[in-house]
A = this chain, B = another copy of it.
């Protein structure tokens, strides 16, 4: 899933298989996600979409985000701050996030050793992993104190 076209195809297929309707609203929302920063929250996306398509409601945006997350087109993140964040899911390996507490910038990183250790830890506790998240909060290059 690297581009809008592929994502749209995925959406179409999922909808067809589940007797759901392919609507212009769902298409527009998907398209606007691709026009939007890589990490965003529902409200900002809604405002953005609303500015171009004033008939699309907040509920529809929330519903579409839930759907796209379920399908696997986007991923809902829990980065703190009391607001759900979303990112496009690009079929890349699992990654985690560095978050600047000053400017909110999000940096992604991948670390295979950490991934493996998590698996080991879960097993040691008899736990079957469904999902995991690692957030490192700090001050980025531009905002760290000297």
Contact = CB atoms under 8 A, between A and B. Distances in A.
Interface residues of A, number: 33
Contact of A138 (B100, B129, B137, B139): B129
Given A98-B125, A125-B109, A134 B133 contact: yes
Contact of A121 (B98, B125, B130): B98
Contact of A136 (B111, B132, B140, B144): B132
Copies in the complex: 2
Contacts of A137: 129-133
Given A125-B141, A133-B137, 11 more contacts: A78-B80, A113-B117, A126-B140, A126-B144, A128-B138, A129-B136, A129-B138, A130-B138, A131-B137, A133-B133, A133-B134
